[in-house]
Amino acid sequence: MRIGKVAERAGVSVRALRYYEEQGLVIADRSPSGHRQYPESAVERVKFIQLLYAAGLTSKAILQILPFLDTLVATSQMTRRLTDERARIRVKIDALTRAHDRLEELIRLAAEYENSPATCSASADVAASHSPPRH
């Protein structure tokens, strides 16, 4: 399969695929004329790479994890990278959840104001975060 088709089926740009190759994440054969030739499996591989990118992993981190998919042999370095990244993602999910809850709180406040602009000035400090009660 050529690069355009892989890009389309994996939902990434052609440029991205060339970049992945540059980073050593996807290896492609070459036709006699120099065009890249991908196996079917490349599509799933690229989707997996995208999944990890979306989770905030760097090319370097992905590069340390990917060989496991091919060989299913985990070096200690790979295992550590796997657990490290899992932990990083957990932390990130927590942070995002806090931000989400916080925005929800503000949205509620905004809706309240919408309904009765005059009567909710008393709850003004609700917006001022999780600090302990003043006085």
Partner DNA sequence: CTAGATCCTCACGTCAACGTGAGGATCAAG
Partner DNA sequence: CTTGATCCTCACGTTGACGTGAGGATCTAG
The CB-of-3 to DNA minimum distance in angstroms stands at: 4
Number of residues that bind a second copy (CB under 8 A): 48
Footprint (CB under 8 A) of a second copy, residues 5-64: 41, 44, 47-48, 51-52, 54-57
Nearest-angstrom CA–CA distance, 38 and 47: 14
Specify the residue, 33 or 121, whose C-beta has the smaller distance to a second copy. 121
Contacts of 57 (CB under 8 A, 6+ apart): 65, 85
Q: Is the CA virtual torsion 49, 50, 55, 61 positive or negative?
A: positive
Binding residue for DNA, selected from 18, 55, 74, 112, defined by CB under 7 A: 18
Nearest-angstrom CA–CA distance, 53 and 41: 19
Residue 3 Cα distances to 9, 38, 41, 45, 114, angstroms: 10, 7, 13, 14, 52
Site residues, DNA (CB under 7 A): 2-5, 7, 12-16, 18-19, 23, 31-36, 53, 57-60
Site residues, a second copy (CB under 8 A): 41, 44, 47-48, 51-52, 54-57, 65, 68-69, 72-74, 78-79, 82-83, 85-86, 89-90, 92-93, 95-100, 102-104, 106-107, 109-110, 113-114, 120-121, 124, 127-129, 131
